[in-house]
Amino acid sequence: MIINDGFIPKRQVNPKVPPGQYVVNDFPVLSLGPTPDISINDWKLEIAGLVEAPQVFTWTEFERLPRVEMKTDIHCVTKWSKLDTLWGGVSMDFLIEQVIVSESATHLIAHSYDGYSTNLPIEDVRGGKAMIATSFEKEPISTPHGGPARLFVPHLYFWKSAKWLSKLEFVNGDIPGFWEVRGYHNYGDPWKEQRYLDD
């Protein structure tokens, strides 16, 4: 490490902000291509893989499920963090119970309408840590930010919170997703600054 002479911090150090991150008030976007246009009339969410009761939800069915809220910070690998954001949706614990996920499932693969996918160990979506979010600050999630529905796993870098969610697949064994095979870290803990492959 070197000291950069004359470099004067302009931001306050905040213990809520992981290393290498800085706080934004706006809401930037990370994406690999154009924002897909998904009508809630055509929207479906499939839950499949190692589950006893696979399900396909329509929007109307999904909206009737019990809702939870999470107010927390989010951290994007491109270095911005946004504090105290409020998200609402359906808890992953509830969905895992509904479809009866098999004991043998070790990972969740989240698939998106634009062909994106991301992988998470199953422990990371259990125990109140994750949900399928359909609202941000009490409003429907705008499309650039992943609406109608996105995965929400705020303790990991935000690329793990797949936007435009189409399918949850429970599997035995890990299957690295879109960014995970393109040089980004497989797990993505912001507090350990696990941005890239060997971090």
Provide the binding-site residues for ligand FAD, judged by CB under 6 A.
11, 22-25, 78
**CA atoms of 61 and 81, how far apart (whole Å):** 33
Q: Alpha helix (H) ranges present in 38-184?
A: 59-63, 92-99
The token pair that represents 194 in the structure block: 């696990």
Smaller CB separation from ligand FAD, 77 or 125: 77
Which residues in the 35-94 window bind other proteins by CB under 8 A?
Answer: 35-37, 78-80
Smaller CB separation from other proteins, 26 or 84: 26
23 touches, from ligand FAD, other proteins, none (C-beta below 5 to 8 Å by class): ligand FAD
Q: Are residues 145 and 154 in contact, defined by beta-carbon separation less than 8 angstroms?
A: no
CA distances from residue 122 to 101, 107, 126, 155, 171 in whole angstroms, order as listed:
10, 5, 7, 14, 9
Q: Are strands 165-171 and 107-112 parallel, antiparallel or unpaired?
A: antiparallel
**Rule CB under 8 A: is residue 3 a binding residue for other proteins?**
yes
Smaller CB separation from ligand FAD, 34 or 173: 34
Smaller CB separation from other proteins, 91 or 119: 119
3 touches, from other proteins, ligand FAD, none (C-beta below 5 to 8 Å by class): other proteins
**Rule CB under 8 A: is residue 1 a binding residue for other proteins?**
yes
Which residues in the 123-162 window bind other proteins by CB under 8 A?
Answer: 144
**CA atoms of 134 and 51, how far apart (whole Å):** 23
Instruction: Please report how close the Cβ of residue 28 comes to ligand FAD at its closest, in angstroms.
Output: 8
Q: Are residues 10 and 68 in contact, defined by beta-carbon separation less than 8 angstroms?
A: no
- CA-nearest of 138, 168, 123 to 150 is 168
Smaller CB separation from other proteins, 28 or 140: 28
Instruction: Please report how close the Cβ of residue 189 comes to ligand FAD at its closest, in angstroms.
Output: 20
**Rule CB under 8 A: is residue 173 a binding residue for other proteins?**
no
CA distances from residue 8 to 2, 5, 11, 12, 120 in whole angstroms, order as listed:
14, 9, 9, 11, 38
Q: Binding residues for other proteins, per CB under 8 A?
A: 1-11, 13, 19-22, 24, 28-37, 78-80, 114-115, 144, 178-179, 181-184, 196-199
